[in-house]
Structure 1
Amino acid sequence: MPLLESRPELELVVWPEDRACDRSWLLENIPGATGVIVMLTDKVNPELLDKAGPSLRVVSTMSVGYEHVDLAAAAQRGLKVGYTPDVLTDAVADLSVMLALMAGRNGGIGVSLVQNGEWPNFSWAPFGFCGPQLSTTAASPTRKIGFLGFGRIAQATLARLVPFGITHCLYSSNPSSPPNHQRDTDLAKKYNLKAVSKVNVDELARESDVLFVLAPGGQGTYHVINEGLLRKMKKTSILVNASRGTLVDSDALAKALKEGWIWGAGLDVVEGEPNVTIDHPLVKEPRCVIVPHIASATLETRRDMATRAAQNLVAAILGGDMPAQVDLSA
């Protein structure tokens, strides 16, 4: 806000509450606006753009994703669209590792037992609460970590996993993208790994001890994690999704957990969120740890995202270069 308030050229109209903006308020206040800063919860569609009118020049979203923005409608009106990539890489990578550990070590089950007051009634057992260890051991010296999508966040997650003693990194990315052998060789050398390899999704499922889903959303990746793929995974494997809920078929994952095809899952995102209630099939699965889309929720990251969103807005309105602009030419 100080960044915006310091510009005397700007007249600010601000939603005053610390929660998602009411749609009715946004529609009432956007007519005549030159720019608007929105969140993931705000649908930027023809209705909103028509309400804004011809004065609107920029839509700046405080998010790395922009599925809530109708890009075709924005392009048709000659608008600029800003977003906030890069700044949340570390926060999402941190949470991805947390979810892998929570899912593998039965963290959700343990926390629930304590919070429900059941610990005094629980009898210790030699293999109680046991799950697959993320780090390598003398008896199990190989750990293969898989990534569906191998962009900035995946590579930052890989860097955090190196001290656990992982030995192999497998990844699958856009089929149209050629393998980057030099980068993979450099990463393997940098982290002392036996291999960093691009593989197809079937091999990724079969070989990964932990599979991190960190690919973009959209039709091209819709339900890429489905029953067929889940059946190929190891019984001791962990699935982590910190990208978009639409990449994972929730019903198939619930079935996989219930029938023991995989060990557990850690999810920051779920298809249809936030409508994920106690009756949701994944919520019913004890070995599924779900947090409510909080991967970017660190004080540092949210401040950086807000700053980037404000910088994008100011640059587009006052004629500067936007720090992060969505390419609408495609």
Structure 2
Amino acid sequence: MAQSGSPRYKVVVCRNLGPDVMPLLESRHELELVIWPEDRACNRKWLLENIPGATGVIVMLTDKVDSELLDKAGPSLRTVSTMSVGYEHIDLKAVSKRGLKIGYTPDVLTDAVADLSVMLALMAGRNGGIGYSLVLNGGWPNFSWAPFGLCGPQLSTTVLSPTRKVGFIGFGRISQATLSRLVPFGITHCLYASNPSSPPNLQHDAELQSKYNLKAVLKVDLDELARESDVLIVLAPGGPSTYHVVNEDFLRKMKKTSVLVNTSRGTLVDSDALAKALREGWIWGAGLDVVEGEPNVPKDHPLVKEPKCVIVPHIASATLETRKHMATHAAQNLIAAILGGDMPAQVDLSAFSLIPPC
């Protein structure tokens, strides 16, 4: 127990972090917790009403941290801890100006996102959305089997198709974890495009090529990436530099049998252009965990209306293990920032305009 008269620090928590993680906060008697009581996104009005005088706040991706919120919090605020790897919802200039510490949760969701990337590649290529809808809507009994009905391009190599090229937009830890999962399918080439200002790491690429017995691991330009990739997986950071990097011009260069997967940020893919590409057959299919403007993706959304587009509602990190780990890091970041110690992961605000690679 904290001694009588010892300081207590108000902490606002924008979502209950569950029975495995909340005790980390509740056991710290120096902290006075104010917890959003409902099992839904934190109400902005509630947050603005409760943030004054807080020393720390734990937020989700849905909670915007801007000058309005920071001004309401006042000079007592020391830290913002977000239960996410991305921090586009945080005004980094504003928090840097106030000298705050920002905690986030990188690395812990690498495997979960890589797993889902492969799942979406398989579902999009093998008409998983169409097949599932056929059964769900009761159409299977009346479906007429045909030799090439519901066929799609095979992800793995075959005697007739001995070459398979996977492409990545962004080639950070999640892309490389995804590559490791695709290697057993017989992937022969890995192509990637990343920050044009960063030179290729030839030694690292050669090590990956040797490790996975690939014919090539190459950094290429976007045109070559579009033309050559059988499966193209978008795993790059968001922001102005990558906005609509997959646009109509890019999609028109892709193979008619290629599959596009996006498990990073919805803003990287032009939804209207992708819907047109699917509708007119420029590419085979798409698997999306993220869509620009989400969660405002109603049933009449252009991509929802495309049968060859498989969409799941931003669940790439949604494993029990990953979310528990993310919540734990968010709590530990806050505790360290307020009570002392090393934060598991702190945003470098000296380069606040940069988004960490996926």
Question: What TM-score do you get using the length of structure 2 for normalisation?
Answer: 0.91
Alignment of 1:312-323 (within 5 A): 312-323=333-344
Alignment map for 1:42-121 (pairs within 5 Å): 42-121=63-142
Q: Please give the secondary structure, in 2, of the residue aligned with 1:329.
A: helix
RMSD: 0.6
Distance 1:61 1:49 in 2: 15
Q: How far apart are the structure 2 equivalents of 1:31 and 1:322?
A: 24
Instruction: Give the counterpart letter for 2:31 in structure 1.
Output: L
Partner Cα separation in structure 2 for residue 127 and residue 48 of structure 1: 57
* Whole-angstrom CA distance in 1 between matches of 2:149 and 2:44: 49
Rounded to whole Å, the distance in 1 between the matches of 2:347 and 2:40 is: 26
Aligned to 1:279: 300
For 1:160 and 1:2, the matched residues in 2 are separated by: 36
> What residue identity is the alignment partner of 1:48?
L
Task: Establish whether residue 7 from structure 1 lines up as the match of residue 25 from structure 2.
Answer: no
Q: Which residue number corresponds to residue 236 of structure 2?
A: 215
Q: Which residue of 2 aligns with 1:328?
A: 349
Mapping for residues 185-200 of structure 1, pairs under 5 Å: 185-200=206-221
Correspondence for 1:255: 276
Q: Deviations over 1:94-139 (max 9, x none)?
A: 0000000000000000111111111111011111110000000011
- 1:178 to partner: Cα distance: 1.0
Is residue 179 of structure 2 the alignment partner of residue 158 of structure 1? yes
Shift of the alpha carbon at 1:69?
Answer: 0.3
Which SS does the other structure have where 2:107 is aligned?
coil
Distance in 2 between the 1:111 and 1:65 partners? Answer: 32
Q: Which runs of 5+ in 2 are unaligned?
A: 1-21, 352-358
Q: Residue deviations 1:142-199, cap 9 Å, x none?
A: 0000000000000000000010010000000001111101111110111110110000
Residue identity matched to 1:144: K
- Match for residue 183 of structure 1? 204
Q: Partner of 1:274: helix, strand, or coil?
A: coil
User: Could you say what secondary structure the match of 1:11 adopts?
Assistant: strand
Indicate the residue corresponding to 2:14 in structure 1: none
- Shift of residue 319, structure 1, vs aligned partner: 2.1
Inter-partner Cα distance in structure 1 for 2:233 and 2:47: 36
2:288 matched residue in structure 1: 267
Aligned equivalents of 2:107 and 2:40: distance in 1? Answer: 24
CA shift, 1:11, in A, is 1.0
Amino acid at match of 1:202: D
The AA in structure 1 aligned to 2:238 is G
Aligned twin of 1:22: 43
Paired with 1:56 and 1:143, the residues of 2 have a C-alpha distance of: 52
Structure-1 separation of matches of 2:114 and 2:53: 40
Distance in 2, matches of 1:311 and 1:202, equals 43
Identity of aligned residues (%): 85
- Runs of 4+ residues over 4 Å off in structure 1: none
CA distance in 1, matches of 2:143, 2:289: 29
- Equivalent residues, number: 330
Letter in structure 1 aligned against 2:314: H
CA distance in 1, matches of 2:191, 2:26: 47
Distance, in Å, in 1 between the alignment partners of 2:90 and 2:299 is 30
- The CA distance in 2 between the partners of 1:32 and 1:224, in whole Å, is 42
- The counterpart of 2:161, out of the listed 140, 144, 150, is 140
SS of the aligned residue for 2:118 comes to: helix
Describe the superposition over 1:211-233 as per-residue Cα deviations: whole angstroms up to 9, x where unpaired: 00000000000000000000000
Partner amino acid, structure 1, of 2:189: H
